[in-house]
Copies of this chain bind each other. A is one copy, B any other.
Amino acid sequence: MEQNFRCNCPITSAIDVVGDKWSLVIIKQMLTEGKKTFKDFMESDEAIATNILSSRLKMLEQFKIINKGKLPENKKTNIYTLTDKGIALTPIIVELSIWSDNNLREFHSALYEGEQIEMIRNKKEKFINHIIENYKKNNWLQHGV
């Protein structure tokens, strides 16, 4: 996988991995919208195409950002969960949200408002931990096993 990196700068390398149009959107959906199956992602506001979704999930699995598993009672549905590497992307996602709220409103008036973003801004560190704890709680089955 080494040949995929443009250079040895950590910032550029992070962008090489999760800097495409969809990776961080998928991770956001897992982290804050409780999405975990192929169908869940398909039905998102963002309307990702199925071939792109499929290739992105494979790539994220290769970089150990997500796990692919199944529940014992269902042999059809794949359950995708964030690994620790994936959960560690939370601060990036939170900072993107804060930046948009502060700087993009003049170009995009319909941006979500309100409590959640206010909460993120006021108590960033606490909110990051809240999102992570919430994610872990709702995915205890996968994380426990």
Task: List residues of A whose CB falls within 8 A of some B CB.
Answer: 1-2, 5-15, 17, 19-21, 24-25, 28, 45-47, 63, 85, 88-89, 91-93, 95-104, 107-112, 117
Contact = CB atoms under 8 A, between A and B. Distances in A.
Given A92-B96, A92-B99, A10 B104 contact: yes
B104 A99 contact: no
Given A19-B24, A103-B88, A104-B14, A8 B112 contact: yes
For the complex of A and B, the 6 pairs showing the least CB-CB separation, nearest first, are A10-B100, A14-B96, A7-B45, A14-B100, A85-B103, A92-B95
A104 B46 contact: no
Contact of A15 (B5, B8, B25): B25
B45 A96 contact: no
A101 B14 CA distance: 9
Contacts of A91: 95, 98-99
A111 to B, nearest CB: 5
Contacts of A92: 92, 95-96, 99
Interface centre among A6, A14, A85, A111 (most CB of B within 10 A): A14
